[in-house]
Amino acid sequence: MAFWYNIVTGAVENDDNKSQGDDVMGPYETEEEASQALALAAERTKTWDDEDKEWEEKGAAATGDSW
Protein backbone atom coordinates (compact mmCIF):
# COMPACT_ATOMS: atom_id res chain seq x y z
CA MET A 1 0.00 0.00 0.00
CA ALA A 2 1.21 3.50 -0.83
CA PHE A 3 0.86 6.57 1.35
CA TRP A 4 0.29 10.16 0.32
CA TYR A 5 0.60 13.57 2.01
CA ASN A 6 -2.27 16.00 1.47
CA ILE A 7 -0.81 19.51 1.35
CA VAL A 8 -4.18 21.17 1.98
CA THR A 9 -5.22 19.19 5.05
CA GLY A 10 -1.80 18.09 6.30
CA ALA A 11 -3.12 14.55 6.60
CA VAL A 12 -1.46 11.33 5.52
CA GLU A 13 -3.70 9.34 3.21
CA ASN A 14 -3.47 5.83 1.81
CA ASP A 15 -4.61 4.32 -1.47
CA ASP A 16 -8.07 3.72 -0.02
CA ASN A 17 -8.74 7.35 0.93
CA LYS A 18 -6.38 9.30 -1.36
CA SER A 19 -7.61 12.70 -2.50
CA GLN A 20 -7.62 13.50 -6.19
CA GLY A 21 -5.67 16.14 -8.03
CA ASP A 22 -2.72 18.30 -7.17
CA ASP A 23 -3.34 18.30 -3.42
CA VAL A 24 -1.26 15.21 -2.68
CA MET A 25 2.44 14.40 -2.67
CA GLY A 26 3.65 10.88 -3.09
CA PRO A 27 3.55 8.00 -3.23
CA TYR A 28 5.62 7.10 -0.18
CA GLU A 29 6.36 3.61 1.09
CA THR A 30 5.45 4.28 4.72
CA GLU A 31 3.05 6.47 6.66
CA GLU A 32 6.03 7.99 8.51
CA GLU A 33 7.75 8.92 5.26
CA ALA A 34 4.54 10.51 3.96
CA SER A 35 4.19 12.53 7.17
CA GLN A 36 7.63 14.02 6.46
CA ALA A 37 6.81 14.87 2.83
CA LEU A 38 7.43 18.62 3.09
CA ALA A 39 10.75 18.17 4.91
CA LEU A 40 11.85 15.52 2.40
CA ALA A 41 10.92 17.79 -0.50
CA ALA A 42 12.84 20.70 1.01
CA GLU A 43 15.88 18.49 1.58
CA ARG A 44 15.81 17.15 -1.97
CA THR A 45 15.39 20.65 -3.41
CA LYS A 46 18.41 21.89 -1.45
CA THR A 47 20.48 18.95 -2.66
CA TRP A 48 19.50 19.62 -6.27
CA ASP A 49 20.19 23.36 -5.89
CA ASP A 50 23.64 22.59 -4.46
CA GLU A 51 24.36 20.18 -7.31
CA ASP A 52 23.23 22.77 -9.88
CA LYS A 53 25.44 25.43 -8.30
CA GLU A 54 28.44 23.08 -8.33
CA TRP A 55 27.79 22.14 -11.97
CA GLU A 56 27.47 25.79 -12.99
CA GLU A 57 30.67 26.72 -11.15
CA LYS A 58 32.57 23.89 -12.87
CA GLY A 59 31.27 25.04 -16.24
CA ALA A 60 32.24 28.64 -15.56
CA ALA A 61 35.69 27.59 -14.37
CA ALA A 62 36.25 25.44 -17.49
CA THR A 63 35.29 28.25 -19.88
CA GLY A 64 36.62 31.17 -17.87
CA ASP A 65 33.13 32.69 -17.68
CA SER A 66 31.89 34.32 -14.51
CA TRP A 67 28.24 34.31 -13.57
Domain coordinates in residue numbering, the chain: 3-62
What's the confidence (pLDDT) of residue 58? 86
Residue 64 has pLDDT above 70, yes or no: no
Strand partners, 25: 5
CB 13 within 8 Å of CB 36? no
Q: What is the pLDDT of residues 26-52, one digit of tens each?
A: 999 999 999 999 999 999 999 999 999
Can you tell me the distance from the alpha carbon of 42 to that of 51, in angstroms, rounded to the nearest whole number?
14
DSSP 8-state code for residue 8: T
Kindly state the percentage of the chain with pLDDT values over 70: 90
CB 12 within 8 Å of CB 38? no
Give this prediction's pTM.
0.72
